[in-house]
Amino acid sequence: MTTTILTYSKGGSYRYVLPYSHVFSSWPISKSRKKAESIALGLTVGSWTDLPHLEKNYCLNIEEKSFLLKNLIRKQRTKASIKIAYPLLNFSPDIPAILTTVFGKLSLDGKIRLLDLEFPNDLKKHFSGPQFGLENIRQKLNVHDRPLLMAIFKGVIGRDLTFLSNQLRNLALGGVDIVKDDEILFENSFTPFEQRITVMKRTLQEAYEQTGHRTLYSVNISGKTNEVIERARLASDLGADIILLNAFSYGIDLVQTLREDPFVRVPIMVHPAVSGAMTSSNEYGISPSLLLGKLLRIAGADFVLFASPYGSVAMDRSDALKLHQELIGEDPYFKKCFSVPSAGIHPGLTEKIMNDFGKDSIINAGGGVFGHPEGPTKGVIAFRQAIDNVSFGRSLFHPSKHQNELKVALQTWQ
């Protein structure tokens, strides 16, 4: 492995190393050094050809690493990891400008993938990060020593508020911490947005008075952009617990817009729908840890859902762990964001999830709760029993005689 650092600093008084973007390309190493230079030039000076009359008053830093890969026919091939630094003055301090600068036209240029961005403090100070963050959410729920449990409404499209409210009550009585709308439940005449919030709040208050356990409800605000902002404000006015946004149908900047809106005082939960189109290839797009991790936390998400490594739409385990670290790692500028590995989760996966993601995560299930043969209340109880067993070092797979709900769940999804 070789590492080469090229430094260009022709004139100008720009600050030297700011923010880094790491891109990964499959050009042969002999070409990649040249390519790295042309990328850095193209994305700062902004042209594919020499501009003799233009003063190139930028500074940049290219770090090139090569490593060998063997393809299927066992020929050696070379890939390169390139690190480029851009002066802060090149862009306004916002996510659209940064992404366009470091990976705008470049994203159209064949096999190239954006791996990471390093934000210096001078840039971080322009972002707010989560408004509430993990600790505030824990305080609202008064749950501090275990992962949270979240359930997803399933099969509610075309159902009315009474149906939804009954489902919510059933979940709350089982001891669930959060219930979220499915990402595919939009504004509709059966469960209109405003009434959905007020009826769900009332239902949860009644359940709390009965059990003493607090449950929060996350309402989907996704729809047209201008309506999303209005709905977020309305949700905040109505005292909604959490708003859910399918952020990748729009762009991450909308998360920041909501976070910075003075009339939106409610935690933001981000669903990963559509993000797979940008993150799934190893040769194109953006790494999940950057797109769903670092950028969403900087933009102000309080919760981020992503595909766990073991469920129905799995993410590579090392990618998922990196993403999780981006959300919960210490950062003097930003609060921690709840990490929500999801999709195809059932009680039998609880130990894996807790071993990989620790207590600062949320165990999130739709089918794994509603598919319990004895109904959703028992589905929630089964998960709570699984979480307790793992938390207290007991065996997940040998439930006690008082844990029949867990036993049934383990038999159902073995």
The residues binding ligand 1AE (CB under 6 A) are 152, 182-183, 271-272, 305, 307, 312, 342-345, 365-368
Minimal distance in Å, beta carbon 344 to ligand 1AE? Answer: 5
In the complex, residue closest to ligand 1AE by CB:
366
Report residue 157 as tokens: 């499209």
- Closer Cβ to ligand 1AE, 8 or 186, answer by number: 186
- Closer Cβ to ligand 1AE, 130 or 341, answer by number: 341
DSSP string, 151-211: EE--S-TT--HHHHHHHHHHHHHHT-SEEE--TT--S-SSS-HHHHHHHHHHHHHHHHHHH
Using CA atoms, how far residue 315 sits from 99, 272, 307, in Å, is 23, 12, 5
Minimal distance in Å, beta carbon 230 to ligand 1AE? Answer: 24
Give catalytic status of residue 79 as yes or no.
no
Name the residue with tokens 């190139």: 56
Report residue 371 as tokens: 């598919």
- Closer Cβ to ligand 1AE, 182 or 237, answer by number: 182
**CA R_g for the chain:** 24
Name the residue with tokens 């729908």: 273
- Closer Cβ to ligand 1AE, 39 or 409, answer by number: 409
> In what side-by-side order are the strands of the sheet with 303-307?
338-342, 303-307, 268-270, 242-245, 216-220, 178-180, 148-152, 362-365
Minimal distance in Å, beta carbon 340 to ligand 1AE? Answer: 8
Report residue 232 as tokens: 């977020």
Minimal distance in Å, beta carbon 393 to ligand 1AE? Answer: 26
Distance CA 70, CA 167 (A): 53
Report residue 251 as tokens: 């762009």
Minimal distance in Å, beta carbon 172 to ligand 1AE? Answer: 18
Sign, CA torsion 204/209/211/212? positive
Minimal distance in Å, beta carbon 315 to ligand 1AE? Answer: 9
- Closer Cβ to ligand 1AE, 32 or 218, answer by number: 218
Sign, CA torsion 274/313/178/210? positive
Other Cβ atoms less than 10 A from the Cβ of 71: the count is 8
DSSP string, 376-410: HHHHHHHHHHHHHHHHTT--TTS--TT-HHHHHHH
Which residue among 105, 111, 125, 224 is the active-site one? 105
- Closer Cβ to ligand 1AE, 58 or 310, answer by number: 310
Name the residue with tokens 């998922």: 320
Minimal distance in Å, beta carbon 19 to ligand 1AE? Answer: 29
Sign, CA torsion 204/208/210/211? positive
- Closer Cβ to ligand 1AE, 79 or 180, answer by number: 180
Distance CA 332, CA 329 (A): 10
- Closer Cβ to ligand 1AE, 36 or 343, answer by number: 343
Distance CA 310, CA 14 (A): 46
Minimal distance in Å, beta carbon 306 to ligand 1AE? Answer: 6
Sorted by sequence, the CB contacts under 8 Å of residue 324 that are 6+ apart come out as: 293, 339, 341, 356, 357, 361
Annotated catalytic residues are 105
